[in-house]
C-alpha cells in the first residue's frame, strides 16, 4: 500500500516545506503590489507579526511602500517609534495619513523603547543589520531604484529567492514642486510610558 502524501500544513499550521511558500496562519493586509503579495506567505503583510524593513538610509520609499496597507487602516491610529527624522506633515498627507491619527513616540531610554516596540509590528532598520538574527517572520531589504525600489526577500516562511523584486512607486509630488517649502507642521512627541494607554490602543485597533 503506497503512502499517502500529506501537506506539511495539515500536520501543523506552523510547518511548511522549505521548497514551498508557507500558507498564512493568520490575517494579512494586502500590500497593494501584486508582485510583492505573490511572494509573501498568505499573500500580504502578516497582522500581529514582526516585520523588518531593512533600508540603506531613511527615506528610500519605505513609507510609500506601506501606503496601501496604511490606507486600509481607515481612522485607526498609527504610532511611529523613535523615527530617525521628524516626519513631515506634507509627506504623511501624501500617503494618506493625517496628523490626528499619527502618534510620534519618543522613548527616554532603551528599556522604554523596547517596551514601546512591543506594540508595533513593522520596524525599519539599517540594511547593515540584515546578517543579524531577528525574531521577525518577514524581513525585506529595500533599495531605491529609478522607478521605485527593489525588494530582496531576506527571510520568509518559504524558499529563498535569488532575484530581487521590482516595485514601482509613485514619486512624492513635494519633491517636484518649484515653490519654496512653507514652514512645516510637526508632530508633537509623546513619552513612551507616559502615553502607555494610547500606545496600547494600536493592538486591538489593528486586529479588529
pLDDT confidence of residue 193: 46
Contacts of 174 (CB under 8 A, 6+ apart): 88, 90, 91, 94, 181
Query: With contact defined as beta carbons under 8 Å apart, do 167 and 150 qualify?
Result: yes
Q: Pick one of 3.40.50, 1.10.1060, 1.25.40, 2.40.50 as the CATH number of 39-207.
A: 3.40.50
Per-residue model confidence as pLDDT tens for the chain (208 residues): 556 666 666 666 666 666 667 776 678 889 999 999 999 988 899 887 889 999 988 888 898 999 998 888 777 788 787 787 788 888 888 888 888 888 887 777 666 665 655 555 788 889 999 999 888 989 999 999 888 999 999 998 888 888 999 999 977 665 555 555 444 455 555 454 444 444 344 333 334 3
Task: Give the length of the chain.
Answer: 208
Q: At 71, list the grid cell.
A: 490606507
pLDDT confidence of residue 110: 60
Amino acid at each position: 500500500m503506497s503512502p499517502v502524501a500529506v501537506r506539511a500544513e495539515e500536520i501543523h499550521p506552523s510547518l511548511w516545506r522549505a521548497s514551498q511558500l508557507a500558507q498564512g496562519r493568520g490575517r494579512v493586509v494586502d500590500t497593494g503590489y501584486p508582485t510583492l503579495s505573490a511572494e509573501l506567505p498568505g499573500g500580504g503583510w502578516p497582522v500581529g507579526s514582526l516585520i523588518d524593513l531593512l533600508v540603506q538610509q531613511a527615506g528610500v520609499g519605505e513609507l510609500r511602500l506601506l501606503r496601501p496597507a496604511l490606507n486600509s487602516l481607515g481612522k485607526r491610529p498609527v504610532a511611529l517609534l523613535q523615527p530617525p527624522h521628524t516626519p513631515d506633515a506634507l509627506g504623511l498627507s501624501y500617503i494618506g495619513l493625517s496628523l490626528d491619527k499619527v502618534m510620534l513616540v519618543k522613548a527616554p531610554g532603551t528599556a522604554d523603547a523596547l517596551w514601546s516596540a512591543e506594540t508595533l509590528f513593522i520596524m525599519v532598520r539599517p540594511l547593515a543589520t540584515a546578517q543579524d538574527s531577528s525574531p521577525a517572520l518577514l524581513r525585506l531589504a529595500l533599495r531605491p531604484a529609478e522607478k521605485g525600489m527593489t525588494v530582496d526577500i531576506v527571510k520568509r516562511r518559504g524558499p529563498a529567492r535569488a532575484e530581487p523584486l521590482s516595485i514601482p512607486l509613485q514619486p512624492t509630488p513635494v519633491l517636484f514642486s518649484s515653490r519654496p517649502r512653507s514652514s512645516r507642521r510637526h508632530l508633537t512627541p509623546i513619552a513612551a510610558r507616559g502615553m502607555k494607554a494610547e500606545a496600547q490602543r494600536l493592538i486591538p485597533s489593528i486586529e479588529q
